[in-house]
Chains A and B, each alone.
Chain A
């Protein structure tokens, strides 16, 4: 399989209008303050990385973005209109698709059946309305090929795909069904080197189609490989957003860890992290 090694980073003008804007998002769970005023935005055709260590509030934040949680305070603007998502379905319909770590894939079912799960194309009318299997197969194989995956056949079970390929199916599915903003929750966390580069290549392809990609990760290298902008979350707060070229991996790493300890640790480990 061919792997694109050069990423052509999104040539997004700095003044491009954000498609999704989150302003001063706060989220409290009882007396726990999970998010203490986070601002974030995503422009079409860019890959905005959201970095943070475990417990930084990444998950809470993307769940707020994708309609799972309602923010306690703050506003969400989608295409300049204030949004109040009451369920993930609302967000999905607006064009915000989230690929969670479990991928919402069923290993025993074929790639096509997974691809169209819940949104099957039909033909015929009334009682003869039926699943248009031929078209579904055709679309699925075509979409997967565009993402660089050659299926053995549309009836190949998802269980036979590698982790990276499954991730790609989930991404391709979200994009096919009209995602304008694609939120990827740690897509590379469980993958090997080769599979990771496949997924990063996929992100690059999706970005070129004008989709705004939110890439959540705690791996700075993966983020640096595709990201156009980087926002670091630490203890429920943003530590600022940096543009590609403005920041080095080491600085990012330090920000994520919240300062000096990391620099010291890294010194003792000989810079291997």
Chain B
């Protein structure tokens, strides 16, 4: 992990590109995290990968319910030479859950972004094939959201399928 000064320097390089790109820089539990504006994720990832953090090791979606803006997308970047990790996160609202896709920069983001779209409903603009990945294609709703209830969905077997018409609604 970069120390607090190193992290601030990384954030400064993103700010050089766009002054309002960085919202917050945090350094908790030895984990470096840069929060960027929702439309600045590509700039931030390009700057960081030029600094050596060129391996996107993970991408997760988070629901910050009940805080606003609710949906979050986290990028975990890794520098394999210096064995250093830095996280980038952004938050979008439910009304406008659009984030620029990074599949062309990091091909690994393909499945990850589809999963975040499937589970949280974050729309990755520019993704080549944004479909549901884990849930069925005709599924409604985004089940990892915190206000999505667990249970209540009938288990459909062949024998009880006619007894629960319209179960998909």
Q: Do A and B bind each other?
A: no
